[in-house]
Amino acid sequence: MKSYQKAYKSQRSSNVNMLPGDPKGSPDESFYSETLVFIDANFLSKLSNYFGKGKYLIYDLIEFSEGLCEKQRLLCKQIFYYTAPPFQSEKTTEEEKKRKDGYDRFVEKLRKKEVIVREGRCQRLKINGKFEYRQKGVDILMAMDLMGILLKFPKIKKIILIASDSDFVPVIESLKEDGIKTVLHTYYEKKRDTNFSRSNHLIKSVYKYVLLSKEYFDKAPLKK
């Protein structure tokens, strides 16, 4: 992960949205203090496909995460990635095997780069004659890690959450009581019949939220 020198706020600033720093010049925790990034892989994948107009965008997940941190003047200490392996039937098809092999290679690369990968499972349901695939147990894994921040990362005061699920609100509220601020990176549309609806409950619970755009992905190209 990237490293930065300590930064201090000037006593004068043209940015009216920036709070003045300590006149004594002590470090400001909002300037490149360490943070953790928690990624709901299913949401991010869905968003990538949407911005790619039906094709998944190709980008560097670590550079993408570090870019989000840097925009918030934070230093990325650790990335947590929550996902589930592709569904495998009892008699595995060639297509299922191909998807699983690709998934395994991707996850192995993340782990080699010290990304913490938490895996749930993929459930296949038949609804109205069509198969639908849903991740199970992933949200619980993320909630467990979020609740463990205070014990495992006592110096962390602000985290980045990439998600859209209002189920995380109780955990976010609990973190807030412990002095940990959540910066939510999400996406929603105001129009009806959209796959990205706005959760006011989630947005109101966080310290700050940022609407993701394709530009964030474009700024993290995958280097071959």
Q: What is the tens place of the pLDDT at every residue in 88-127?
A: 777 888 888 998 999 999 999 999 999 999 998 776 666 6
- Rounded to whole angstroms, how far apart are CA atoms 64 and 218? 9
Best CA proximity match to 67, nearest among 223, 224, 207, 212: 212
What would the pLDDT profile of 19-70 be if each residue is shown by its tens digit? 333 333 444 454 679 999 999 999 999 999 999 999 999 999 999 999 999 9
Global pTM reads 0.82
Q: Which domains does the chain have, with CATH numbers?
A: 33-218 (3.40.50.1010)
Q: Is residue 9 within 8 Å of residue 28, measured between CB atoms?
A: yes
Q: Is residue 27 within 8 Å of residue 35, measured between CB atoms?
A: no
Q: Given a cut of 70, is residue 11 above it in pLDDT?
A: no
